[in-house]
Homo-oligomer: A and B are copies of this chain.
Amino acid sequence: MRILVLGGDGFCGWPTALHLSAQGHDVAIVDNLSRRRIDEELGVQSLTPISDIETRLAAWTEATGRTIEFHPLTVGKDYDGLLEILTSWRPEAMVHFAEQRAAPYSMKSAQHKRYTVDNNLNATNDVLAAIVDSGLDIHLAHLGTMGVYGYGTAGAAIPEGYLTVKVETPEGWVEREILYPANPGSIYHMTKTQDALLFQFYAKNDKLRITDLHQGIVWGCQTAETRLDERLINRFDYDGDYGTVLNRFLIQAAVGYPLTVHGTGGQTRAFINIQDTVRCIELALKHPPKRGDRVKVMNQMTECHRVRDLAGLVSRLTGAEIAHLPNPRQEADENELLVENRRLLGYGLEPITLADGLLIEATEIARRYAERADLAKIPCVSHWNAERAAAAQSTDPTGKAAVAAE
């Protein structure tokens, strides 16, 4: 299959491009390297020493004999450039990672809210408009987020995208299937719920074939392909903006820093290992919707855990302490979460469990590169609103967050 990976230099995009190439697909990457520029803006770097894109791609060819083309281009701004790639290279599928993907980053300031909305929505609309313009029947797989569901399921499992509800009519209550009602918790998550409306529209109006993968929080760093050569290593973020919760705990444990749990840690979240992410994307590309189908939505996650239970797990594994900090996010302290994920399991996904994979991750990445960590960058310094910011300043049980944030 000829597959264009948009955002193929990022944390999920890079290992996806390699995995698809390793499986024998023809892969090309489109990326503007914005993720590397955000590292510079935030004054942070990946815990792992990532190579520049040219070195990465040369190492891939050296290791495997396979070639991945690279197009430096901003999806959402350079529409003509994107359309030119589609009409000349004629991909059969596209994977769309070309969005700003961190909730705390999207909430840092008005400028970060503006960047996230502008970047993500124009990117998705440009991709869809370009597919229509090209006249090609390209299957688009997009990385969404479990966060579009808003964690409000009243004890029922979150279905895969659509919810059966009953609505009142003159003939009584009748069943209808609707897009799961959105209740996003950040500007970033909100853009993904807005993406869902773009997909719904283009699938209906232009019969585009679209798969939206609502992914859980990704943990882990390496895949079979990124382990082939150190120049292929994937990025590992542990900072307060881009570091997802489990990776943050691992690096905190490795450097002897308390595991920082926001609020009670009663937030239940869905998780998936990065190796499973790349497998899921290939499975999604192998099982596309038919032309005229509605958007195919799959929940791309394998386990649900409470944040405090994860902290407990990492603490038992490593001996690290646990510290409770005020939650910077405007969200409920405690929530239940049950998620339907039968589709990807049905296509043959065999999940890597936290219980099996966590220790490898802790030693392979967190301990090995611990000396590269900048402890000052670990706390989350984005606050969802003025009240949450004030709460963070007045309470700091560890005494470390405020210092580190300065």
Contacts and interface: CB of A to CB of B under 8 A. Distances in A.
Contacts of A200: 182-183
Contact of A110 (B133, B153, B179, B207): B133
A200 B330 CA distance: 14
A165 B176 CA distance: 10
Contacts of A111: 79
Identical chains in the assembly? 2
Contacts of A156: 167-170
Interface stretch (A14-22, A41-49, A119-127, A348-356): A119-127
A206 B110 contact: no
Chain B CB count within 10 A is highest, among A113, A330, A385, for A113
Contacts of A201: 184, 187, 190
A193 interface: yes
Interface string A293-321: 00000000000000000000000000000
A403 interface: no
B117 A121 contact: yes
A360 interface: no
Contact of A198 (B167, B174, B181, B190): B190
Interface string A161-179: 0011111111101101011
A290 interface: no
A205 interface: yes
A163 B166 CA distance: 11
Given A170-B156, A184-B197, A201-B190, A125 B129 contact: no
A249 B282 CA distance: 53
A2 to B, nearest CB: 22
A334 to B, nearest CB: 18
A368 interface: no
A167 B165 contact: yes
A154 interface: yes
Contacts of A179: 181-182
Contact of A122 (B110, B118, B171): B118
A155 interface: yes
A385 B125 CA distance: 16
A174 B154 contact: yes
Contact of A205 (B129, B154, B384): B384
Contacts of A197: 182, 184, 190, 193-194, 197
Query: Which 6 pairs across A and B sit closest by C-beta, in order of nearness?
Result: A165-B165, A166-B166, A110-B129, A178-B181, A194-B194, A117-B125
A204 interface: yes
Contact of A155 (B132, B169, B181, B207): B169
